[in-house]
Amino acid sequence: VSIIPEYGAPSTKSDYWIPVRAGLSDTALLLGVAKALIDRGAIDRPFLRRFTDMPLLVRLDTLQRLRADEVFADHQPGLRPDAPSFTLHGLEPEQYAEIGDRVVFDQASGELRPITREHLGDNMAGINPSLAYEGEVTLVDGTDVEVATVFAMYRRHLRDYDLDTVAEITTAPRPLIERLIDDISTIRPLAIHIGEGVNHYFHATLHNRAAYLVAMLVGSI
């Protein structure tokens, strides 16, 4: 599918062409697709739990990811000095001290659990983080703060991007938007090709993030 304002050469080679209003309306289109995927349950939950930041808890008062040392008084940094983060990825100790470890709500135990940046894939064994957790957490300093997972925050943010609104913003025909959603829901693997031009204009980062969001939701990373 070609998603582009004008019917050009790439569109002639595509199975279908979705015209969109020029000026970042394709970002709204992608966010509408993301909302529909979540609403329809057409997402790869195991992938999201194992390979993305979607289960990480965020403080709603500061919008910063919840740190393990804010929750667990006796928390010790979980990365060993010989961990791949240091030996392979080039993480410096002072950077790790600044970043810290994160927190998830473990559905298996019903408790908060600290995790490091290396808790992903098979290293998540024994932890089944919730994607949709929202609640109140008492910090070690006695402060009570509201928290939510990254996934829950996305779901809240995407409420505004129903298909009627997306069709109005983009001027794209709604039936074609629905066809795109159906294809992304069912065809594997998914590939999103973004041309040079789309990366060179104001706020292009937002567009790229929306593209990655859709790909993450269906596990095509």
Q: Say what the pLDDT of residue 197 is.
A: 63
Token couple for 44: 């790869």
Amino acid at 138: T
End-to-end CA distance of the chain: 19
Beta strands in the chain (DSSP E): 2-3, 17-18, 57-59, 102-106, 111-115, 134-138, 144-149
Residue 45, Ramachandran bin (φ over 0: left; ψ between -120 and 50: alpha; else beta): alpha
Distance CA 148, CA 163 (A): 25
Q: Say what the pLDDT of residue 82 is.
A: 93
Amino acid at 121: G
Distance CA 208, CA 147 (A): 26
Instruction: Give yes or no for a cis peptide into 5 (omega within 30° of 0).
Output: no
Q: Say what the pLDDT of residue 35 is.
A: 98
Look at residue 104 and give its three-state secondary structure: strand
Q: Which of 112, 102, 104, 117 is nearest to 67 (CA)?
A: 102
Q: Say what the pLDDT of residue 206 is.
A: 85
Give the pLDDT confidence of 1-46 residue by residue, as tens digits: 999 999 989 899 999 999 999 877 889 999 999 999 999 999 999 9
Q: What is the 3-state secondary structure (H, E, C) of 190-201?
A: CCCCCCHHHHCC
pTM for the whole structure: 0.91
- CA 138-142-143 angle, to 5 degrees, is 65
